[in-house]
Amino acid sequence: MPEQQRNDISGKVPNNTDFNNHSADDNPLKKLAIDKDKDYIAIPIDSLRIDTVTEFDIYLQNQQSGKYVLYRRGDLPFNEEHRTKLNQSRVKAIHIDAADRFRYLRYLENNLGEIIDDDRLSNLERSKIVYDCATHLAQEIFEKPWIKKSLKRAHGIVNNTVTHLLKNPAHLTSLINLMSADYRVYSHSVNVCVYGIALGQSVGLDTWELRELGAGLLMHDLGKSEIDPNILRKGDRLTEEEWKILQTHPRLGVDILKRFPDPKPSTIDIIHQHHENCAGTGYPHGLKAERIHPYAKITSLVDTFDNLTTNKSYRKALNSFAAIRLMQDQMQHYFSPDLLKTLVVRLSEEGSKNFVIDPSSDHLRKSLKLPARRRIA
């Protein structure tokens, strides 16, 4: 496509009648229609921020032919006039090339604080953006754990996730309903982060504490990036030697985290202790309950819950009622009794993956040996 032609049509919204009914000869937009066999992704118009350069091209779809037309180039700013014209033309969706999905997710991540406060987007749309951004970042971290900016990005994602969850209880339900049914280490990390923040709120953690907890939750399995994927996929069919290798992932995760500038001690504790249990039979050190960080106890509980309620290559997922029943009947001694009870109470309907958030009194903080709430003058 000649560059000049692309410039000439950028930002024009076709009149529905003209676009659908004019011939290619008298409709320059139709001349530029893209092969519909190429993959495109629909995105919300309101996910684009005003006066930003997106770095990905934006397309409109001809509803009659199914073909796509370039609307706005990625190296040109998207402004209020473009949004207004799209809305006035009753355009229901804009599209991006599927090959630009990662660019789009990074764009959303960079603008996430503004996006989650934008009431033009539905609760579900905002929750999907939060979940997709977090999953994409987690995938990047596991595939390239040596990138030092990842920790700062993780804190940014977690801070916005906490803000989103605290803003409206319905956001939690939306996030849980978006969770992947199939296990991947990065989507599992995001699921654990969401569940853990919700449980943390239920035991009375404040916003600052939830953000601190969330960073560790998101990165709790960081060490698995150093483990052979074949071992991770085998699950409970591991040989003794493979089991020993898998048990090194908390230490490996701490080693990776310490390469980042200024890792928080609580994040280190979560990564190192999330497979310890209150019976003292966990790994890597077999710590008893009193020596396990409260955040690691939360992580252990929700990590187990998500593992049980997610499909694995070697077994199907349990529904949440069956998972909780199993945890109560066969694993009760592994967890803090108050935390397990809180998880049971916060899971609403039998067999559904929905939390009911109802912040508890300070006795739960005391039972977890958390410090008293900080008083703000």
- pLDDT on residue 249: 98
C-alpha to C-alpha distances, 252 to 34, 91, 195, 234, nearest whole angstrom: 47, 49, 24, 20
From the list 104, 7, 109, 3, the residue with the least C-alpha distance to 56 is 104
For 66-121, the DSSP string reads --EEEEE-TTSEE-HHHHHHHHHTT---EEEEGGGHHHHHHHHHHTHHHHTT-TTS
Distance CA 205, CA 363 (A): 12
- pLDDT on residue 348: 58
More confident of the two residues 274 and 144 = 274
The average pLDDT across 29-38 equals 46
The average pLDDT across 110-134 equals 96
The average pLDDT across 314-321 equals 88
Distance CA 17, CA 25 (A): 16
Q: Is 52 helix (H, G, I), strand (E, B) or coil?
A: strand
Q: Is 261 helix (H, G, I), strand (E, B) or coil?
A: coil
Least trusted range by pLDDT, from 9-13, 117-121, 299-303, 311-315: 9-13
Q: Is 60 helix (H, G, I), strand (E, B) or coil?
A: strand
- pLDDT on residue 303: 98
Write the DSSP symbol of residue 284: S
Least trusted range by pLDDT, from 3-7, 200-204, 220-224, 308-312: 3-7
The average pLDDT across 218-245 equals 92
The average pLDDT across 62-83 equals 92
- pLDDT on residue 72: 95
C-alpha distance across the termini of the chain, in Å: 62
- pLDDT on residue 181: 84
The stretches of 168-293 forming alpha helices (DSSP H) are: 169-178, 185-202, 207-218, 229-234, 240-246, 249-257, 265-273
Would you say residue 178 has pLDDT above 70? yes
Domain parsing of the chain, residue ranges = 1-99, 111-367
Q: What is the mean pLDDT of the chain?
A: 86
The average pLDDT across 95-120 equals 97
- pLDDT on residue 86: 94
- pLDDT on residue 372: 64
More confident of the two residues 302 and 32 = 302
The average pLDDT across 18-42 equals 49
The average pLDDT across 174-188 equals 91
Least trusted range by pLDDT, from 205-219, 314-328, 361-375: 361-375
**Secondary structure (H, E, C), 334-367:** HCCHHHHHHHHHHECCCCCCCECCCCCCCHHHHH
Helix (H) or strand (E) holding 285: none
- pLDDT tens column, 10-21: 555 555 433 333
The size of the chain, in residues, is 377
CB of 204 closer than 8 Å to CB of 365: yes
The average pLDDT across 185-200 equals 96
CB of 210 closer than 8 Å to CB of 200: yes
The average pLDDT across 96-114 equals 97
From the list 218, 213, 226, the residue with the least C-alpha distance to 151 is 218
Q: At 24, is the pLDDT very low, low, confident or very high (cuts 50, 70, 90)?
A: very low
Q: What burial class does residue 24 get, using C-beta atoms within 10 Å of its C-beta: 0-12 exposed, 13-18 middle, 19+ buried?
A: exposed
Among 7-21, 23-37, 137-151, the range with the most confident prediction by mean pLDDT is: 137-151
- pLDDT on residue 286: 98
The average pLDDT across 29-57 equals 78
Distance CA 354, CA 142 (A): 28
- pLDDT on residue 243: 95
- pLDDT on residue 25: 34
The average pLDDT across 278-291 equals 97
CA 206 to chain centre: 21
Q: At 262, is the pLDDT very low, low, confident or very high (cuts 50, 70, 90)?
A: confident
- pLDDT on residue 329: 95
C-alpha to C-alpha distances, 110 to 141, 153, 193, 301, nearest whole angstrom: 16, 9, 20, 31
CATH of 111-367, one of 1.20.140.70, 3.40.50.12780, 1.10.3210.10, 3.90.550.10: 1.10.3210.10
The average pLDDT across 134-153 equals 92
The whole-model pTM stands at: 0.86
Tell me the β-bridge partners of 347: 355
Would you say residue 273 has pLDDT above 90? yes
Q: Is 15 helix (H, G, I), strand (E, B) or coil?
A: coil
